[in-house]
Amino acid sequence: MSAREGQAELARLSLNQMTTRRWSLPEAVEASARAGLGGIGVWREPLAATGVAAAAKLIRDAGLGVSSLCRGGFLTSGKPAALDDNRRAIDEAAALDAACVVLVVGGLPDGSRDLVGARARVAETVGELTPYAAEAGVRLALEPLHPMYCADRSVLSTLAQALDLAEQLDRVGVVVDTFHVWWDPDLPAQIARASGRISSYQICDWITPLPADVLLARGLPGDGHIDFAPITAAVAAAGYTGHIEVEIFNQQVWDADPDQVLAAVVERYRALGPA
């Protein structure tokens, strides 16, 4: 195919910069643009290292969209500092014109076994953030995490639960990340229900055996057990036309040459993406 066809084909692909974490934000932006991607998923720590205004200019000049800002959340502790930090994330997302701020809501507070209470606190605190997000024109995106992270990362465990909350709030969407939701028997129904509320779609595979550190268990699409086509089709049928982000936490991927990782991401997207 021609270079132009190749570029059009990749217009919806977004590299989450954590996938190539050895690159600085400017390096990831430059490489993504050169490869013809349409977007980039930005993390706050490397964003701070570059500076928000400088990063916003270089991403815009590269012709990329910001598919997500990762991340806000960690709202179960009830500490006021957590809300302040989320407001800063909203400001940054506004400066970047990001499609959303991804919220990983947090696990059980230290020493607590009150899962019902933690979930109630998430609903309250996300509700407290929504006026600020609305004023900034920023969309908050609730990310259900795989139930294996319920105790320590996210008491939001299913898409149904994320939608129960999102539907009560203004300008709050959800993230559909295949790694977190692929196992859910209720997934097709919940994706259909999410119509108009999907703020981010991420493709990432489930590999076995799980690595010793389950936070690094995410595989490149095609390396694991997930059948992507029906999920991608359901997300499209729910009206989602935004970026398709590839976010991989995996030590082997991080140890590899980032140029090769990006090439693999493009190859897998061509094989498994929506063409």
Among 11, 1, 55, which residue's Cα sits nearest to residue 32?
A: 11
Phi-psi region of 196 (alpha: psi -120 to 50; beta: other; left: phi over 0): left
User: Least distance in Å: CB of 197 to its own copies?
Assistant: 18
Considering the rule CB under 8 A, would residue 240 count as an interface residue with its own copies? no
**Residues 6+ positions from 135 with CB-CB distance below 8 Å:** none
Q: Does 109 bind its own copies (CB under 8 A)?
A: no
Say whether residue 148 binds its own copies (CB under 8 A).
yes
Please state the φ and ψ torsions of residue 207, each to the nearest 5 degrees: -110, 150
Backbone angles phi and psi of 250, in degrees to 5: -165, 125
Cβ nearer to its own copies, comparing 114 with 135: 114
Give yes or no for residue 88 binding its own copies (CB under 8 A): no
224, 236, 256, 274: residue in contact with its own copies (rule CB under 8 A): 224
Helix (H, G, I), strand (E, B) or coil at 176: strand
User: Does residue 152 touch its own copies according to CB under 8 A?
Assistant: yes
Q: Which of 170, 225, 237, 257 binds its own copies (CB under 8 A)?
A: 225
Q: Let me know if 27 is exposed, middle or buried by CB neighbors in 10 A (0-12, 13-18, 19+).
A: middle
113 belongs to the binding site for its own copies (CB under 8 A): yes
- Examine residue 218 and tell whether it contacts its own copies (CB under 8 A): no
Binding mask of the shown chain, residues 155 to 194, with x at each position contacting its own copies by CB under 8 A: --xx-xx--------------------xxxxx--------
CB 156 within 8 A of CB 143: yes
Instruction: Give the interface with its own copies as residue ranges (CB under 8 A).
Output: 108, 113-116, 119, 146-148, 150-152, 157-158, 160-161, 182-186, 206, 208-210, 212, 214, 224-227, 230
